[in-house]
Amino acid sequence: MPRNKFGVKRPHSCADDMKKAATRVLAGSLSITQAAKSFNLSKSVLARHLNAKRANSLFDFKTRLGHKQILTKEEEDSLEQYLKTSAKLDYGLTTLQLRKLAYQYAVANKKKVPNWEENGIATKGWLRDVQKHHQSLRLRRPEVI
């Protein structure tokens, strides 16, 4: 059992599979549970999409894979360059200082960050994702000279 939700692997739902499963269920040839198993979909996601389709006949099946990225790739790259430059000048940042800097950078660029605003700091999940995207970036405690 993983310690947090980031370690849980869930099957990704494909829009085409969702449409095929929904048409089978709406035609009455399969139940929701059978369609979810045969198309490798989550039963609750399929049921939610079917309820939306029944309520609105123009409903389009879409999938939202991934997460909403707060900073763009270019902004993350410029932040990475800043960190590397500051490390070369013997002014390394701790992870806490980087998270505060990321929040200030996001506010300066007028980004919407509702879950960062309550503490005035970026979340640990954001830091973990940035470290995954930028493998050359290693944050350690700065040494005292």
Residues 35 and 85 placed together within one structural domain of the fold: no
Residues 92 and 127 placed together within one structural domain of the fold: yes
Residues 42 and 90 placed together within one structural domain of the fold: no
pLDDT average, residue stretch 117-145: 82
* Percent above pLDDT 90 for the chain: 23
The predicted structure's pLDDT at residue 81: 92
Residues 79 and 47 placed together within one structural domain of the fold: no
Phi and psi at residue 85, in whole multiples of 5°?
A: -65, -45
> Is 0.75 surpassed by the pTM of this model?
no
The predicted structure's pLDDT at residue 9: 62
In terms of pLDDT, which residue wins out, 80 or 14?
80
Residues 82 and 129 placed together within one structural domain of the fold: yes
In terms of pLDDT, which residue wins out, 123 or 15?
123
Closest CA relative to residue 77, chosen from 67, 89, 85: 85
Give the chain's domain count.
2
Evaluate if residue 66 carries a pLDDT over 60: no
Q: What range defines the domain where residue 120 resides? A: 73-133
**Does 119 reside within a domain?**
yes
